[in-house]
Structure 1
């Protein structure tokens, strides 16, 4: 049972339509009272890390929200498995049909036809089999016209198109049940029409805000937050190299835009400088994806001035240790490239040293440890770099490597573990690492196969394990507690000594769930949490009342 209540005190980066990220489709009810908006918050992954795995994969990542037209209050919020392509509100009933889906990149055109109850917020998936829904229109209260994608690649030769039109007439749309629409649908081939341009939805959302004296600006994916000593918070996110907020007034003090995504953030020990790693989107040329090198900016925290830029040789992740040494680890996974290098950088800005460690991939090797006394990495096997991973330390300034302990703490099981985030602790139980991770399984992430673990440092002996059903996204710790967020939307506070639950709570804003991506302690009783939808939640931890005492 929770001993603390987690209270939301302030939301930084708040604004209209924040729940849906980048708008993709908009529909209005016939009376104009409600708007239904489908959006895209971005996939919870960047080039060095993936936190999309859940033990219940039917939980989606793509938002749809219902808004009241008079004040743009969000009434309902759901998440779908595929991006929204089109929305159509029923002409007489409080229902909205939502078409989702996409090509899977190799064979099938997957998606759903959802019916959203605008009164309750409940949804029903109508198609018995997964199909991408490209267009839909209510011809009358009983008739729905659809354009579906073909089921899979081999159907294109048979139909001469990837789009098939059909019409479905029913008298029971208000009593819809899951999978009630079964093939055959009477489909006929139609020419592939241009896809709905998301810019149309963006323009509608901007216009709705402008009519109400509001300004809409997109925000997504706060991948890292950190605290400064003077009640300020800094963060990196999509489109922002670094931004700084005053927690006490919820004001943005300065912001540095960037063409790309801010992925990592490290405040140097002197407290006046931050390192911010950014990455531009990959591009497709000549039949293959290519990516620009990652860039690390040294930013003056007083005024947001960029003092220097450091460009890595390729895409990279940033690793640091408590005294200010930092490193860039090459994340190139192309076998044709010379991958696996680490560039060591001293805190005084002097020349760095390059050492080799082995290939990296974003599912296996992410290992970001706060307050670490050493530069810590995960190293895989020589032949199969994703297997048999060890926690290793790379010493400075010359780069000799020490193997500390296997990532798997029970050698008899021989499990394939993924890395994660963590923190170094030195308390009454001695020096240790508390880190997160997950167990690989061919069926995906199984219940209980994610974990938070505490291990003695530098020997790796197990001290405790907290199993979880979903991937951890962020972790911070102090001498008493370990604070962990999960992609299920939950914040869990564990006792540092033994891993028992001190508090746990689903994070919500205005009653609607959010997905936390990053976290930092502001003080012993305050946290800042960055979310997938671009907000930063300032939370406080309050002791619950003693119910037994209240009853005396």
Structure 2
């Protein structure tokens, strides 16, 4: 049972239609009172790590939201497993049909036809088997016209097209149940294979906002967040290297645009300078795709001015130490180099660490007394990973302890986020991770563990079903955000659960990508949809 709860006191970076990311498709109800928008969030993976859901069945992450047309209040929000291609309000009943789907890249055209009840908020999946739904039109209150994709590649020879049209007539749409539309659907070849038009959807939203005097700026994926001791909050996200929020205003103090994305943020010990790892989009040269190298930008935290830039040799991740030393670890497939950077001089030193991949080697530890990395076997770097420290300035690699602590299990563990702490129980690392299984994420295969430092013995282990996206600690507690939308607070000394709750904003679930402690009983959280949540942790009243 939770002893505390997290309350969202401020939502920074909010605005109209913030729940849907990039718009893909829109539609308006027959009486124009409602507008539905199907959108797209960024994929929850970058070149340094992967935090996409691996559970089965896939919980879905493509958003659809229904808003009031007058003030843009979000009334309903759902997520779907496949991209949203089509939306249509029922002509007389409080129902919204949602067509989703995509080609799987190798054989099948999968998707769903969903029916959202606008009275109850309940959603049902109408098709007996998964099929990509491309178009939806209500011809009358009983008749729904559909354009579906063919089931799989071999059907293209039969029909001469990948699109099939049909109409379904029923008088029980208000009593819909899962799988009630069963094959055959009486489909006929349909040559027009039109797709969604995100530009048109964007234009609709821009016009609506202009007509009603709202400013609309789409925001996406706050990948990193950091709180300063004076209450200011730093965030890095899609399209923005770094932005700064004050503790007393919902207006951004300054913002540093980026040609790509800000993925990691740390600060030097004096908190006057921030370091942000940015990554520009790749580019095509002579018909060949080229990934741009990562860049670390030194930023004056007083005014957002760029003080210096450091370009890596390739794509890289940022690793930092509490005293200000930092390093860039190359993540390119054939690279294995770590570049050590002394913040007080221009000295650089290169160390070979072995290959890196986004699932195995991410190990971002806040407040670490050493530069910490995961290193595996030379020829198979994903195997038998150990936590190692790289000493400065000479670059000696010290092996500390195996990532896997349970020798009887012998599991293949993936790395994750974490933090160093020192309390009455002694110095320790608290880190998150997952146990690999070929069937995907199995129940209980995600964990948060406290381990003695530097020897690695487990002191406690908290297990769960979903991967952690972010973790931070203070003197008493461990704060962990998960890709399921859950926030968990554990007692640092023994791992006892203090809080376990879904994160909600205005009653709708949000997915946290980043988290940082922001003073006593306060955390800030960056979300998949681009918002920053300023949260207080309050004690629940004791039951008699």
TM over 0.5: yes
Shift of 1:156: 2.2
- Give the equivalent residue in structure 2 for 1:197: 197
Contact 2:442–2:465 (CA under 8 A) maintained in structure 1: yes
Contact 1:162–1:192 (CA under 8 A) maintained in structure 2: no
Shift of 1:288: 6.9
Shift of 1:157: 2.6
- Give the equivalent residue in structure 2 for 1:74: 74
Structure 1: how far apart are the matches of 2:287 and 2:161?
A: 23
Q: 2:429 aligned with 1:429, yes or no?
A: no
Shift of 1:441: 0.8
Shift of 1:370: 0.2
- Give the equivalent residue in structure 1 for 2:336: 340
- Give the equivalent residue in structure 1 for 2:316: 316
Structure 1: how far apart are the matches of 2:326 and 2:133?
A: 48
Q: Secondary structure of 1:547's partner? A: coil
Contact 1:145–1:165 (CA under 8 A) maintained in structure 2: yes
Q: Secondary structure of 2:360's partner? A: coil
| More off after superposition, 153-162 vs 536-545 | 153-162
Structure 2: how far apart are the matches of 1:264 and 1:471?
A: 19
CA displacement 1:347-375 (0-9 Å, x = unmatched):
12413111111111111111000000111
Shift of 1:287: 8.3
| More off after superposition, 48-57 vs 515-524 | 48-57
- Give the equivalent residue in structure 1 for 2:412: 416
Shift of 1:191: 2.0
Structure 2: how far apart are the matches of 1:157 and 1:375?
A: 58
- Give the equivalent residue in structure 2 for 1:462: 458
Listed as ranges, the matches of 1:65-464 within 5 Å are 65-283=65-283, 290-333=290-333, 338-464=334-460
Structure 2: how far apart are the matches of 1:49 and 1:376?
A: 16
Provide the alpha-carbon RMSD of the alignment. 1.5
| More off after superposition, 79-88 vs 286-295 | 286-295
Structure 1: how far apart are the matches of 2:433 and 2:427?
A: 20
- Give the equivalent residue in structure 2 for 1:532: 528
Contact 2:329–2:338 (CA under 8 A) maintained in structure 1: yes
What is the TM-score normalised by the length of structure 1?
A: 0.96
| More off after superposition, 517-526 vs 139-148 | 139-148
Contact 1:247–1:538 (CA under 8 A) maintained in structure 2: no
Distance 1:396 1:481, change over 3 A: same
Listed as ranges, the matches of 1:535-550 within 5 Å are 535-548=531-544
- Give the equivalent residue in structure 1 for 2:3: 3
Structure 2: how far apart are the matches of 1:179 and 1:545?
A: 44
Q: 2:28 aligned with 1:28, yes or no?
A: yes
| More off after superposition, 311-320 vs 166-175 | 166-175
Contact 2:162–2:193 (CA under 8 A) maintained in structure 1: no
Distance 1:476 1:181, change over 3 A: same
Distance 1:57 1:345, change over 3 A: farther
Unaligned regions of 5+ residues in structure 2, if any? none
Contact 2:229–2:519 (CA under 8 A) maintained in structure 1: no
- Give the equivalent residue in structure 2 for 1:64: 64
Q: Secondary structure of 2:210's partner? A: helix
Shift of 1:492: 0.9
Structure 1: how far apart are the matches of 2:114 and 2:289?
A: 33
Q: Secondary structure of 1:303's partner? A: coil
Contact 1:25–1:86 (CA under 8 A) maintained in structure 2: yes
- Give the equivalent residue in structure 1 for 2:467: 471
| More off after superposition, 157-166 vs 11-20 | 157-166
Structure 1: how far apart are the matches of 2:105 and 2:303?
A: 45
Contact 2:56–2:440 (CA under 8 A) maintained in structure 1: no
What is the TM-score normalised by the length of structure 2?
A: 0.97
CA displacement 1:383-407 (0-9 Å, x = unmatched):
2221111111111112111111111
Contact 2:53–2:59 (CA under 8 A) maintained in structure 1: no
Structure 1: how far apart are the matches of 2:394 and 2:110?
A: 51
Structure 1: how far apart are the matches of 2:288 and 2:507?
A: 43
Structure 2: how far apart are the matches of 1:247 and 1:188?
A: 60
